Amino acid sequence: MSGLSAYQQVSTRQLTRIDLLVALYDTTLRSLKRGATLLIQSADEEFQQERLKATRLLLGLLSGIDPEYDEIAKNTYRLVIFALDQISEHSPRHWESAHEVISQLREGFHAIRAEANRLQATGEIPDIQAESNISLSVG
């Protein structure tokens, strides 16, 4: 195993569930911001790559939401679907709208970070399993 692989494994294991979720939201926000910027710059080829990346990230967020769980989950799911719909448009305004929605969701999760970490530390929220194949690279 290379030094980089070992480092990545250790650093991923040290992250909590909420840390990984906030990191995914942060990466999604960067992609949405870059997509809007590329649209303004008329950099079509780069924009198409960024649209694909943003779509994958938003689908990643959706994959972790069970809209049947409760009303909050259902509303979160709907907001991420809205963001996906917004980035289907070739308009910086729509991409900025998606960014705003995802930013608000991210802030909500960041606000409960301390409590979520406490619940994970006490076992009320299970740890991420060591055998999980988790990858934060979306490039």
Question: Which tens digit of pLDDT belongs to each residue from 94-126?
Answer: 999 999 999 999 999 999 999 999 999 998 988
The pLDDT, as a whole number, for residue 14 is 75
CATH of domain 16-121: 1.20.120.340
138 phi and psi, to 5 degrees?
Answer: -135, 65
Locate the domains of the chain by residue range. 16-121
pTM of the model: 0.82
The pLDDT, as a whole number, for residue 128 is 76
Q: Which of 137, 31, 8, 21 is nearest to 84 (CA)?
A: 31
The pLDDT, as a whole number, for residue 49 is 98
> Are 97 and 35 within 8 A, CB to CB?
no
Q: Is the pLDDT confidence value at 44 over 60?
A: yes
Q: Is the pLDDT confidence value at 2 over 70?
A: no
Rg of the chain's alpha carbons, rounded to an integer? 16
CA distance 35 to 41: 10
